[in-house]
Amino acid sequence: MIQQSYSVVRRSFSVNGVDVSYQIYTNNVASSSERLLLLHGAGVAGELTWSAIVEHLDHWGQILVPDLRGMGETRYLDGSESTFTVQEVCDDVVRLLDQLGWWRFDLGGYSFGGLIAMLLKQRNPSRVGQLYLLEPALLDRADINEVRSIRERYSEAAQHIRQQHDPSDGIRLFLDTIAPGRNRSDKTESMTISRLAERPLGFANALDSVTRSAHEVERDQLLEHLQHAELFAGGRSVRELHDHYLHLARQNTMVNYHEVKGTDHSLPYQKPRQIARLMNEARQRYTNS
């Protein structure tokens, strides 16, 4: 439940054969008119990913949370679950921002949405202020060849999801790859699988789009645009991911690294209040710098 200081509206915008659903949260007591765009991960809706975090954000006057292709309430106009590329998802978001007249904003992205956020920053560096990345895709290892190898396992999971009547086995394969140190209690596992099975074909298409991007996107160029960036990682996530984030923060004075203890890759669902607090504090430092 969003706190009373926020009002929220849901709208849609048709672009490139897709009806993009989005929400705008307005903080009625914010002292700032700054704007924030938040992009969700593969297989889940924007509201489910970000609403518990938005509830505790106090800096931004408006927060935009769209559902990306294949997920949430965003649908192809022809009713299909078509494949897509990360560049097409990025195109959708840029067209939405242009439609709304959002020419300057801060930007947050989780997992799949983190990769889209980095692509947006690369395309439109002058439009993006501070960047918040929660375990963004393609940054989980320092060696890009190792990243590509791991992505093939994600595409194997996507193939299982497409071929089987019950997507659960494919989703478990995905979870075993991305979050081997996760909480495996029956309740938590069931809730996570249920969340990712809402639109299984859209989820599979998102996984494959990132696998293709691992071979097509010049990651070094994305890293060049990590300016005023906050990197968040779950404490239970693999050591190699933390090591890479530490290296990026030590190499670039405009990158900060935060370990969110007691969480795995599902950190926005597990510690929303803590992540919101860190985002608020980072934005205050950015404002004062």
pLDDT at 3 over 70: no
Q: Can you give the length of the chain in residues? A: 289
Please name every residue paired with 24 in a beta bridge, in sequence order, or none if there are none: 9, 64
In this prediction, residue 4 carries a pLDDT of 61
What confidence tens digit (pLDDT) does each residue in 93-125 have?
Answer: 999 999 999 999 999 999 999 999 999 999 999
pLDDT at 2 over 60: no
pLDDT band at 18 (very low <50, low <70, confident <90, very high): very high
Distance between CA atoms of 28 and 26, rounded to whole angstroms? 6
SS3 sequence, the chain? CCCCCEEEEEEEEEECCEEEEEEEEEECCCCCCCEEEEECCCCCCHHHHHHHHHCCCCCCCEEEEECCCCCCCCEECCCCCCCCCHHHHHHHHHHHHHHHCCCCEEEEEECHHHHHHHHHHHHCCCCEEEEEEECCCCCCCCCHHHHHHHHHHHHHHHHHHHHCCCCHHHHHHHHHHHCCCCCCCHHHHHHHHHHHCCCHHHHHHHHHHHHHHHHHCCHHHHHHCCCCEEEEEECCCCHHHHHHHHHHHHHCCCEEEEEECCCCCCHHHHCHHHHHHHHHHHHHHHHHC
Q: State the helix-helix crossing angle for 46-54 and 272-288, rounded to 10 degrees.
A: 70
pLDDT at 31 over 90: no
What confidence tens digit (pLDDT) does each residue in 127-176 have?
Answer: 999 999 999 999 999 999 999 999 999 999 999 999 988 999 999 999 99
Asked whether 50 and 40 are in contact (CB, 8 A), the reply is: yes
What confidence tens digit (pLDDT) does each residue in 179-215 have?
Answer: 999 989 999 999 999 999 999 999 999 999 999 999 9
% of residues, the chain, pLDDT over 90: 93
Q: State the helix-helix crossing angle for 112-123 and 200-216, rounded to 10 degrees.
A: 50
Global model pTM greater than 0.95: yes
Q: Which residue has the tokens 């505790």?
A: 56
What confidence tens digit (pLDDT) does each residue in 230-289 have?
Answer: 999 999 999 999 999 999 999 999 999 999 999 999 999 999 999 999 999 999 998 887
In this prediction, residue 125 carries a pLDDT of 95
